[in-house]
């Protein structure tokens, strides 16, 4: 037990950057919005090179008044986004964030998102550690609509659902 206590205390004392060296992100981007939209999403891959699964418990994005962890489920024949408490990044694995799946949802955008802008995203893990990354804004024709009620038993058609810009 002495050894275990020592290991725990050394983990707690580890500097932030070191503690999160096993977390990296790749291909991150935020979806550009039409001028009147107040919601959007951040996508990309979150990698975990560590031997333990890691849990993300909250997120904040500088361009948004409020940000949430979302996934997409089938409710009968409808696809619905929902707020979830945790994103799990598997040990030695990754969590893809993509249209139609897990994503970082932004509400109350402070301004329209335009190509050329870069958003700062901060993830908070269950142990309190934080990880920050940048997401360039991109126009995504093949994006999912960010309405909370997907319609009518259609398979999510990425080409059709978001032609407004
Ligand atoms: Cu969402």
CA of residue 23 to ligand 1 center, whole Å = 23
- Phi/psi region, residue 3 (left: phi>0; alpha: psi -120 to 50; beta: rest), is alpha
- C-alpha 138/C-alpha 141 separation (Å) is 9
Summarised one tens digit per residue, pLDDT across range 91-101 is: 999 999 999 99
Q: Residues with Cβ < 8 Å from 18, sequence gap 6 or more? A: none
Predicted pLDDT of residue 140: 82
Q: Decide which of 3.40.50.720, 3.40.50.150, 2.60.40.1890, 2.130.10.10 is the CATH code for 15-138.
A: 2.60.40.1890
For residue 13, pLDDT over 60 is answered with no
Summarised one tens digit per residue, pLDDT across range 32-48 is: 999 899 999 999 999 99
CA of residue 156 to ligand 1 center, whole Å = 14
Could you tell me which residues are beta bridge partners of residue 121? 61, 133
Predicted pLDDT of residue 21: 82
Domain chopping of the chain, boundaries? 15-138
Could you tell me which residues are beta bridge partners of residue 119? 135
């Amino acid at each position: 037990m002495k050894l275990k206590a020592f290991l725990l205390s050394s983990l707690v004392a580890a500097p932030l950057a070191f503690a999160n060296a096993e977390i990296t992100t790749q291909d991150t981007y935020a979806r550009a919005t039409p001028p009147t939209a107040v919601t959007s999403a951040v996508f990309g891959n979150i990698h975990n090179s560590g031997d333990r699964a890691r849990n993300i418990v909250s997120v904040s994005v500088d361009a948004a008044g409020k940000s949430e962890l979302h996934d997409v489920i089938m409710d009968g024949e409808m696809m619905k986004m929902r707020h979830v408490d945790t994103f799990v990044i598997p040990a030695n694995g990754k969590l893809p964030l993509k249209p139609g799946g897990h994503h970082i949802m932004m509400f109350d955008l402070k301004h329209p998102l335009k190509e050329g802008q870069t958003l700062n995203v901060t993830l908070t893990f269950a142990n309190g550690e934080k990880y920050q990354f940048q997401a360039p804004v991109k126009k995504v024709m093949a994006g999912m609509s960010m309405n909370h009620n997907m319609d009518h038993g259609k398979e999510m058609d990425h080409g059709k659902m978001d032609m407004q810009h």
